[in-house]
Structure 1
Amino acid sequence: MSAGPESGAARPSRRELLRGAVLAGLCPPALSACVGNPGPAPRAPASGATSAANPLGLVEDGPLEVWIFDGGLGDGYARTIHEPLVASRFPRLGIRHNATKEIAKTLQPRFAGGDPPEVVDNSGAGAMEFGALVQDGQLTDLTPLYDAPSWDDPAVTVRETVDPVAIELGSYDGRPYVMNYTNTVWGIWYSRSLFEAEGWQVPRTWARFLELCESIKRSGGIAPFTYAGRHPQYIYEAILTLAAKIGGRQVLRDIDNLEEGAWRAEPVRQAAAAFAEIGAKYLLQGTAGLDHVQTQTAQNRGRVAMLPCGSWLENEQRGSAPEGFGYAMFPLPDFGPSDAMPYGTLHAQPGEEYIVPAGSANPRAGLEYLRAMLSRQAAGRFTEAVSTLTVVKGASEGRVLGQGLRSASAALVAAGENVVSFLFRKWYSELHDEVAAVSGQLMNGGLTVEQWVDRAQRKADMLRADPSVRKFTR
């Protein structure tokens, strides 16, 4: 979701967030663009005495309201792993568990009213915009969390136990506001048993990939490729990963930084053209109208061979995939001999983003909840429960992993330093929405590559020129 499965309505833009607050008559001072009634004054965050047992100073008999995005990972892991772990050390906390597929729709009024919960898993297509939340002072700085002693060993800080990339990607202007929990590996997913039965080989070059698609198409009865047409961010992820493989990491940095002409770069055009050809020749019929569940169900039923997705897929299809399906993934093939990055390059990105709202009644309890999540015990049990890697170093060691997760983990190890990521989706939801929309049209033949490029570049240019939009760089 975030980097996980997407469902629900499109994420509202910052303007929509502010406009909704105005219409509701709820404009706390943090929403600086609001006018008129200032709304309720923000409460003063409560704090307790710090100690070795309570290093973050939470109010031990205060509330701890937790909201989980109920997507591909479900919400059971919070109820059975994380919340009981916190309760074991702080039994007087008033823990309240909640889950929803519509984070923004459900919680946005709470933020606007100055009464947000302590912890939010702000993930999925209906997540709130991180850039706007940071800009409006709605999030707690997580520095005290990372500087606190780890749950497992007081001599080791939380920061030392976590993949530093996860902290970096959750930071805005150098301050961490978002705790990325999962380590999602993206690639092309397939059934190992089907490939073995048909004698199909995993392609290492784009030419071989096209030959494989043609061979599958000729075999009849099964389409070569699909993606979640109603959530076309799945396909723009693949397009941008291929662009980075062709042109190097700077291609994605330029896009994130709203650099002039970033979307017109030749590697971006080449990647878009490559996937437009897949869309024109090899898509499962009706892909445009399918969501992620429907495309995955089609794959389970042998109607389609390959789809782009993240490493949560195996867990999301637990109980749905047929016995012996054999989930596996492969990285995008080499596009050509002049690729800037080698075979095996992956998009792997920390995700499933947790935040601690600054205006909650007991924000230090929210920080403590995240500290428990980042323990080896909690992270390891999470990995086993939902077949998803975490950002906690070594947490999966000795754990039982599913076949699909082993495949993704092996691909990540093989990639080494050849891992790419992009952040504009978190920083600028309007750009994300536009790129998703035009990518769907590109795959369905509704736009040419040049039109796709122009639409994406125009939206990036508009954001760059808008003084009301806070800019982030990496």
Structure 2
Amino acid sequence: MSSLLKHRGLLLLVIMLMTVFIVACSSNEDAASDSEKTTDPETTEELNEEGSSDGELSGDLEIQYFVGGYGDSWWKEVIADFQAEHPDLNIIEHAGPNINDEMRSRWVANDPPDVVYIDGAGSSETQMVEDGQLMNLTEWVQDIELENGDKLIDSFIVQPGTFDGDIYSLPLVFDTWGTWYDKAWFEEEGYTVPTDFDSFMESMKEIKDKEGIDPFVTSGQHPYYFLRGMLFPAFGAAGGEELLADVIQGKEGAWTSDVVLETMKKVEEMQKEGMFDSGLGALNHTQSQMNFLLHDNAFIPVGFWLPNEMANDIPDGFDFGFIPSPMQDAGEPFAIVPDLRPLAIAEEAKNPEAAKAFVEFVFTRDYAMSFSEHTGAIMNLTGVDLTENDQVPAYLTEANAMINDPDQVKIYEKPHPMSADLETPVGDALMSLMLGNMTAEEFTEAAEKAAADYRE
């Protein structure tokens, strides 16, 4: 009897072990089946586009952003906050000073990241729109609201650029090119802060004679610094937004118009009087900015990123002063042409819902204040009072007050950025003029030819 019970006990143990083995195998097969479902490309794409089954955002979200003078600390803060709100998302950052070049092959191959911040060398919003790379946001943006219920579309300092009436990006950064100088140095030496082109020339002559330096510097390797920083305001002041739009869009006859020629004569005068740095052609933007900080030059046209980008190289006692570029005639107000840095969604975005959620997340007045603290620049939203924040640099609050004073400054908006296909040849001709290898008349003819080529 005892032996029988032992055999029965052994048999029961074997049966139990077999049952466990079968259940385990079944569970493994189910797990393998589930794993295959989540790695199936079509299922992954469906999850990316529609979010997880419980309505939360999931899948990969790829964000591309250029890291230049504004740094990346603000981006890190915003992305971390967004990640905390959407833990099921896998956020992949593509960032750096050369990111536009590094990501170009993916854009060409129609495999872009979901969100792109368009800034820095090698990027062109207009080119991307012309190439069909950006999502049309015209209808979607109408329903976005800020934290207090204000419509985002009504809360931009400057409205988004349009292409045939459609919106393909939202302007994140309100920057403006202007002319910088060292306030402390000018006050100490009694140099004149220009108020128009005539006083600009007089101030540069005074500095050239006393200091023995070439007063004006810019990046010869990037002629668009002078084009956007000096010429666009000059065109706005001389011919208004209509002329500004015409030259940017390459309208027939715009570059050879009398008003453009008169403006280019001012540039020719600067060249003939020896105001440009003699080594201009070889300078990149950081070298030109360093020369400016060392008082090898007195004036430089740059955006609000200048102090932040050069923070580690600022000499003791240097005090940044900013004025809109003084290319206008005497008696006229300064001219400002906002240079917006936009955020966009790729037309071929793999996770468009997450991309839209991120873009909407970024545009708040709290993040606008944070942006000024991190970067020393302005986010493109109204209703943000910088004057009460002691973490915002003085030059920015002063410049902001000046820009918003209609008695001092008139703002001219451009329809959209100039296409790289036009800006590059115009910039090449501009450098020839600034180096004394071309007359103002020859420049306008070369620019007109570039515009004709662009229109074809």
- Alignment partner of 1:229 is 2:226: no
What's the secondary structure of 2:400's corresponding residue? helix
Shift of 1:256: 3.0
Residue 287 of structure 2: aligned partner: 294
Superposed structure 1 runs of 4+ greater than 6 Å apart = none
Q: Distance in 2 between matches of 1:137 and 1:217?
A: 49
What's the secondary structure of 2:58's corresponding residue? coil
How does the TM-score come out when normalised to structure 1? 0.80
Write the deviation string for residues 40-93 of structure 1: whole angstroms up to 9, x where unpaired: xxx77943379xxx9xx8x612111111112111222211x2102212321221
The one-letter code sitting in structure 2 at the alignment partner of 1:443 is: M
For residues 98 and 336 of structure 1, do their structure 2 counterparts lie closer, same or farther at Cα, with a shift above 3 Å needed? closer
Residue 61 of structure 1: aligned partner: 58
Residue 96 of structure 2: aligned partner: 100
What's the secondary structure of 1:197's corresponding residue? helix
More divergent stretch after superposition (110-119 vs 142-151): 142-151
How does the TM-score come out when normalised to structure 2? 0.82
- Structure with max Cα Rg: 2
- Alignment partner of 1:383 is 2:375: no
For residues 244 and 173 of structure 1, do their structure 2 counterparts lie closer, same or farther at Cα, with a shift above 3 Å needed? same
Residue 463 of structure 1: aligned partner: 454
Write the deviation string for residues 315-342 of structure 1: whole angstroms up to 9, x where unpaired: 21222212331111122336435x8xx3
Write the deviation string for residues 410-455 of structure 1: whole angstroms up to 9, x where unpaired: 22112477212435644x2111001111111111001111111011
Q: Distance in 1 between matches of 2:341 and 2:328?
A: 30
For residues 44 and 274 of structure 1, do their structure 2 counterparts lie closer, same or farther at Cα, with a shift above 3 Å needed? farther
Q: Is the 8 A contact 2:66 2:100 kept in 1?
A: no
More divergent stretch after superposition (400-409 vs 176-185): 400-409
The one-letter code sitting in structure 2 at the alignment partner of 1:264 is: T
Q: Is the 8 A contact 2:215 2:299 kept in 1?
A: yes
Alignment of 1:60-99 (within 5 A): 60-79=57-76, 81-99=77-95
Residue 324 of structure 1: aligned partner: 317
- Percentage of pairs with the same residue: 26
More divergent stretch after superposition (199-208 vs 305-314): 199-208
More divergent stretch after superposition (358-367 vs 446-455): 358-367
- Alignment partner of 1:243 is 2:235: yes
Q: Distance in 2 between matches of 1:196 and 1:298?
A: 20
Q: Distance in 1 between matches of 2:107 and 2:324?
A: 40
Write the deviation string for residues 125-165 of structure 1: whole angstroms up to 9, x where unpaired: 211x4344334432222245523443524x433323333x3
- Alignment partner of 1:162 is 2:156: yes
Alignment of 1:35-50 (within 5 A): 46-48=48-50
Residue 351 of structure 2: aligned partner: 362
Residue 245 of structure 2: aligned partner: 253
Write the deviation string for residues 266-316 of structure 1: whole angstroms up to 9, x where unpaired: 221111111222123112231211111111111111211111111221221
- Alignment partner of 1:262 is 2:254: yes
For residues 423 and 448 of structure 1, do their structure 2 counterparts lie closer, same or farther at Cα, with a shift above 3 Å needed? farther
Q: Distance in 1 between matches of 2:425 and 2:449?
A: 10
The structure with the greater share of residues assigned to helix is: 2
Residue 469 of structure 1: aligned partner: none
For residues 144 and 323 of structure 1, do their structure 2 counterparts lie closer, same or farther at Cα, with a shift above 3 Å needed? farther
Write the deviation string for residues 342-385 of structure 1: whole angstroms up to 9, x where unpaired: 32222223x22222112122122112111121111212101110
Q: Distance in 1 between matches of 2:279 and 2:130?
A: 40
More divergent stretch after superposition (289-298 vs 328-337): 328-337
2:431 aligned residue (427, 431, 440) = 440
1:113 aligned residue (85, 109, 115) = 109
**Runs of at least 5 residues in structure 2 that lack an aligned partner in the other structure:** 1-44
The one-letter code sitting in structure 2 at the alignment partner of 1:278 is: M
What's the secondary structure of 1:176's corresponding residue? coil
RMSD of aligned alpha carbons: 2.5
Q: Distance in 2 between matches of 1:86 and 1:143?
A: 24
What's the secondary structure of 1:117's corresponding residue? coil
Residue 283 of structure 1: aligned partner: 276
Q: Distance in 2 between matches of 1:134 and 1:334?
A: 31
Q: Is the 8 A contact 2:281 2:431 kept in 1?
A: yes
Q: Distance in 2 between matches of 1:343 and 1:156?
A: 32
Q: Distance in 1 between matches of 2:139 and 2:327?
A: 43
Q: Distance in 1 between matches of 2:365 and 2:236?
A: 33
The one-letter code sitting in structure 2 at the alignment partner of 1:48 is: E
For residues 449 and 369 of structure 1, do their structure 2 counterparts lie closer, same or farther at Cα, with a shift above 3 Å needed? same
1:220 aligned residue (196, 201, 211) = 211
What's the secondary structure of 2:404's corresponding residue? helix
Q: Distance in 1 between matches of 2:276 and 2:356?
A: 45
Write the deviation string for residues 220-239 of structure 1: whole angstroms up to 9, x where unpaired: 24331111111111112212
What's the secondary structure of 1:172's corresponding residue? coil
Shift of 1:460: 0.8
Q: Is the 8 A contact 1:103 1:122 kept in 2?
A: no
